[in-house]
Amino acid sequence: MSDFEIREQIAAYLARTVGAAELEDWLHDVAWDLEDDKPTRSHVMAATRLLAEHARGDWTDDELRDRLGALNRSYWFELAPKQQSWGMSEAAVTEVRVLQSEAAGRLLVTASV
């Protein structure tokens, strides 16, 4: 399973052609077949966590779409393997935010690495 296929399936949810439960089931199946590719595995686990929080009522559908969209974008820009090298420098970005969840009515912490 390639990271592109995973990002494509998440994009299908964002485009409303796949439901949240269907995406979660698909990601669970994919997780078993991932090779030892830490960035891709982390991406799948983060998406699965967001879907579980949504199922628990922590996020509305729109909030989930926002977070999964941000997850896909940050994976692509920060972690996805690139064919071209842009120099020898490396940078790790960590962002921690506290957000109000409309669905749960409480504050939730999100982070990206």
Look-up of token digits 């999964």: 68
Tens-of-pLDDT digits for all 113 residues of the chain?
677 788 899 999 999 999 999 999 999 888 887 776 677 888 888 999 999 999 999 999 999 999 999 988 887 666 555 544 445 555 554 555 667 777 767 766 665 54
8 membership: H or E segment, kind and range:
helix 3-14
DSSP string, 49-66: HHHHHHHHTSS-HHHHHH
Cα 51 to chain centroid, rounded: 9
Other CB atoms within a 10 A radius of the CB of residue 86 amount to 6
pLDDT at 85: 47
Global pTM exceeds 0.75: no
Say if residues 13 and 27 touch (Cβ distance below 8 Å).
Answer: no
pLDDT at 30: 86
